[in-house]
């Protein structure tokens, strides 16, 4: 057999040990997961290194003894698998395209690169500069954030500017935290990889967007220019408003994380389109809650109240 599923071990960015799904070949192992349902139609999860350059995807990682020490690669691979599992098992989606597309990640992109992105084809992770960030694949909420950009691109197609762009960002933060599934009352984003020298901080807070200079109500909406300096109309800034709406919804008594995820996912994939505004997200999530739980359900009522609480009516 020239290819067979194997189980390796690896050290993650934070020094933890993880079990990895790898692929054995004649003289070693590939960082390739061939255990997922998508493998029935050829889909895999593969992790590459750019070797500190910017050519993509770079080189598929291999190892002689299936004990993996590239920490950024270990986490990119493991967390991509966890994100696949959430979308498949909880939401019934088979990879980002819902057709079992292979998920490719590249780590060690460029040098001291304080960012991560979906480039339309794959996930890409920088190593950070060791001050602002450590390797960005070291956070499950960040990995799931990036993969959700791919899902959004293939479904609603929310353009990356102004309110649709802020919704795009917010859906990535929402699904990022749902996939991460920590018992984090603050619903932080990127807490595991931001400022490795400082404990307790994060990139964003969904419970209190103001803590990281994001608005949490329409009366604080930031009218910014659609430029790089203007964060494309504030897509990472105004996302605080739909993020706060989701937080208020999911923390309503009787609302579960799984049901909140189903409602937000149904709104994203069935109702939102490329230029949807915040009010359209309000209507889409109310409709999705109505579809799934009924018109006067706890869910539908709580969704409406959550958007009202942030001034989206
Ligand atoms: O929000 C983002 N991209 O749209 C971030 C910025 C830092 C983390 C990696 C990518 C989250
Ligand atoms: Zn993003």
* CA pair distance 263, 201, nearest whole angstrom: 29
Q: Return mean pLDDT, the chain.
A: 98
Q: Considering every ligand atom shown, identify the ligand nearest to the alpha carbon of residue 150 and give its number.
A: 2
Whole-number Å distance, alpha carbon 163 to ligand 2 midpoint, is 14
| Whether residue 260 has pLDDT greater than 90 | yes
C-alpha R_g of the chain: 19
Nearest to 125 by CA among 67, 171, 186, 193: 193
Q: Is 74 in the pocket of ligand 1 (CB under 6 A)?
A: no
Whole-number Å distance, alpha carbon 3 to ligand 2 midpoint, is 35
Q: Considering every ligand atom shown, identify the ligand nearest to the alpha carbon of residue 123 and give its number.
A: 1
| Whether residue 126 has pLDDT greater than 80 | yes
Residue 283, CA atoms < 13 Å, CB-side half-sphere: 8
Q: Is 190 in the pocket of ligand 1 (CB under 6 A)?
A: yes
Q: Tell me the β-bridge partners of 20.
A: 8
pLDDT band at residue 3 using 50, 70 and 90 as cut-offs: confident
pLDDT value of position 230: 98
Give nearest CA residue, ligand 1 atom 9.
116
Interacting residues of 81 by C-beta distance below 8 A, sequence separation 6+: 21, 33, 36, 45
Judged by DSSP in three states, 110 sits in coil
Whole-number Å distance, alpha carbon 29 to ligand 1 midpoint, is 31
The residues annotated with a catalytic role in the active site are 146, 236
Q: Is 289 in the pocket of ligand 1 (CB under 6 A)?
A: no
pLDDT value of position 224: 98
Pocket probe mutation, ligand 1, options 150, 236, 238, 243, max atoms within 8 Å of Cβ? 236
Residue 224 CB-density burial (10 A; 0-12 exposed, 13-18 middle, 19+ buried):
middle
Tell me what ipTM this predicted complex has: 0.97
- What number is the average pLDDT over the span 225-251? 98
- What number is the average pLDDT over the span 191-208? 97
Q: What is the pLDDT of residues 145-182, one digit of tens each?
A: 999 999 999 999 999 999 999 999 999 999 999 999 99
pLDDT value of position 281: 99
- What number is the average pLDDT over the span 266-291? 98
Whole-number Å distance, alpha carbon 169 to ligand 2 midpoint, is 5
* CA pair distance 123, 135, nearest whole angstrom: 13
pLDDT band at residue 84 using 50, 70 and 90 as cut-offs: very high
pLDDT value of position 307: 99
Global pTM value: 0.97
Q: Is 147 in the pocket of ligand 1 (CB under 6 A)?
A: no
Other beta carbons less than 10 A from residue 115's beta carbon? 13
pLDDT value of position 2: 74
Residue 208 CB-density burial (10 A; 0-12 exposed, 13-18 middle, 19+ buried):
middle
Other beta carbons less than 10 A from residue 282's beta carbon? 21
* CA pair distance 225, 234, nearest whole angstrom: 8
- What number is the average pLDDT over the span 274-300? 98
Give nearest CA residue, ligand 1 atom 4.
169
pLDDT over 70, % of the chain: 100
Ligand 1 atom, smallest distance to 203 CA: 7
pLDDT value of position 1: 59
């Amino acid at each position: 057999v020239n290819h067979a599923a194997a189980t390796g071990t690896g050290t993650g960015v934070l020094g933890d040990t993880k079990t990895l799904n790898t692929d054995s070949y004649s003289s070693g192992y590939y960082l390739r997961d061939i255990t997922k349902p998508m493998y029935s139609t050829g889909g895999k999860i593969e992790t590459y290194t750019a070797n500190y350059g910017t050519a993509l995807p770079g080189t598929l990682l291999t190892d002689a003894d299936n004990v993996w020490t590239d920490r950024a690669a270990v986490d990119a691979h493991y967390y991509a698998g966890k994100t696949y599992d959430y979308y498949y098992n909880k939401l019934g989606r088979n990879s980002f395209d819902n057709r079992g597309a292979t998920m490719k990640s590249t780590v060690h992109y460029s040098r001291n690169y304080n960012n991560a992105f979906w480039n339309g084809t794959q996930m890409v992770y920088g190593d950070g500069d060791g001050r602002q960030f450590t390797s960005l694949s070291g956070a499950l909420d960040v990995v799931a954030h990036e993969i959700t950009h791919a899902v959004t691109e293939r479904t609603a197609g929310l353009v990356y500017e102004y309110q649709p762009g802020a919704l795009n960002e917010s859906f990535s933060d929402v699904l990022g935290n749902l996939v991460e599934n920590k018992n984090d009352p603050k619903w932080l984003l990127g807490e595991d990889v931001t400022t490795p020298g400082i404990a307790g901080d994060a990139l964003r807070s969904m419970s209190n967007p103001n803590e990281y200079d994001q608005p949490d109500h329409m009366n604080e909406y930031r009218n910014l220019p659609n430029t790089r300096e203007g964060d494309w109309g504030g897509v990472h800034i105004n996302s605080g408003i739909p993020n706060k709406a989701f937080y208020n919804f999911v923390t309503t008594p009787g609302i579960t994380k799984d049901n909140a995820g189903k409602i937000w996912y149904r709104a994203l994939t069935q109702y939102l389109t490329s230029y949807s505004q915040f009010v359209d997200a309000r209507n889409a999530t109310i409709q999705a809650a109505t579809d799934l739980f009924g018109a006067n359900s706890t869910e539908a009522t709580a969704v409406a109240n959550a958007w009202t609480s942030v001034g989206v009516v």
